[in-house]
Amino acid sequence: MTDEKKNELNVEEVRELISKVGPSLGCGDFTYDPIFPEGRKDVCVVSHMAEDGHSYGFDTLYLVWKEGPGRMKYKEIKNTRSTKDYIMIKEIVINNDGSVTVDFGSGGSYSGSPWSESKRIEFSQK
């Protein structure tokens, strides 16, 4: 079994992890299905939405991977606590050096100001 296959992420396990560690405002919290880079299942990006049920909510993006057999790790990429905007994941690319570049943005769903961002994230898959 290859290292990549051994470190393959399960969609439900990823959602369960991020639901536990993601912020909660008590109502309407939701973790979306992870998005994987083309041809890979050992690293992903997942969005978590936290809402209070009437006036406030925001999204948080996470990078998730396995470090060794069975040990899932995560790193927050971006949150929209200040703008309350929804975040859309546009693309995930594995770079030649093993890092990940994530392109994401928002139509300005709450702030009224559309934006986009690209982040390069280093992570270890020991």
Which alpha helices (DSSP H) does the chain contain, by range? 3-6, 11-21
Give the strands of the sheet with 88-94, arranged side by side: 88-94, 100-106, 115-121
Amino acid at 89: I
Nearest one of 126, 54, 116 to 91, comparing CA atoms: 116
Residue 26 domain-assigned? yes
Residue 126 domain-assigned? no
Based on the structure, what is the number of domains in the chain?
A: 1
**Token pair 């299905």 in the structure block, residue:** 33
**pLDDT for residue 47:** 97
Residue 100 domain-assigned? yes
25-46 pLDDT, tens digit each? 988 899 999 999 999 999 999 9
Domain of 73 in residue numbering reads as: 3-121
Query: What is each CA distance from 109 to 85, 87, 105, in whole angstroms?
Result: 5, 9, 11
68-118 pLDDT, tens digit each? 777 899 999 999 999 999 999 999 999 999 899 999 999 988 888 999 999
Name the DSSP letter for residue 53: S
Nearest one of 87, 8, 6 to 49, comparing CA atoms: 87
State the pTM of this model.
Answer: 0.90
DSSP 64-78: EEESSTT-EEEEEEE
49-62 pLDDT, tens digit each? 999 888 788 999 99
Residue 23 domain-assigned? yes
Residues facing 49 on adjacent strands? 30, 59
Residue 32's CB: how many other CB atoms inside 10 A? 16
